[in-house]
Amino acid sequence: AQSVAQPEDQVNVAEGNPLTVKCTYSVSGNPYLFWYVQYPNRGLQFLLKYITGDNLVKGSYGFEAEFNKSQTSFHLKKPSALVSDSALYFCAVRAQRAYNTDKLIFGTGTRLQVFP
């Protein structure tokens, strides 16, 4: 069975500091991995994805994520946090060879709070 774990309910970071939001996954075979962000009173918005190739993926708003197969992780990172990055972040996974389903499995979300 596919699953995603986001071990931190909330991450607090000071503006200008680097941030990391953690995600680990479990799938059979190779994964498709995604990060989405949700701002207050809005729907989820795609940030970035890993399909294949370079393990470091760059996405919107200066975010990046590193795929680590041995650790089954896909942590979201940003070198310098902004107050406007404060939001709810979701990691999602799908097995590349999930013949019987096209759905993504979402994590429980991590609330990022960036303090001025």
Distances (CA, A) of 54 to 44, 57, 68, 106: 25, 7, 11, 23
The yes or no reply on residue 52 touching other proteins (CB under 8 A) is no
The yes or no reply on residue 8 touching other proteins (CB under 8 A) is no
To other proteins, the closest distance from the beta carbon of 89 in angstroms equals 12
Residue type, 71: Q
The yes or no reply on residue 108 touching other proteins (CB under 8 A) is yes
Task: Answer yes or no: are the C-beta atoms of 109 and 92 closer than 8 Å.
Answer: no
Pair of tokens at residue 90: 């979701």
In this chain, which of 40, 41, 52, 97 binds other proteins, going by CB under 8 A?
41
Size of the site for other proteins (CB under 8 A): 19
Question: What are 115's strand-pairing partners?
Answer: 14
Interaction site with other proteins (CB under 8 A): 32, 34, 41-46, 49, 51, 90, 94, 101-104, 106, 108-109
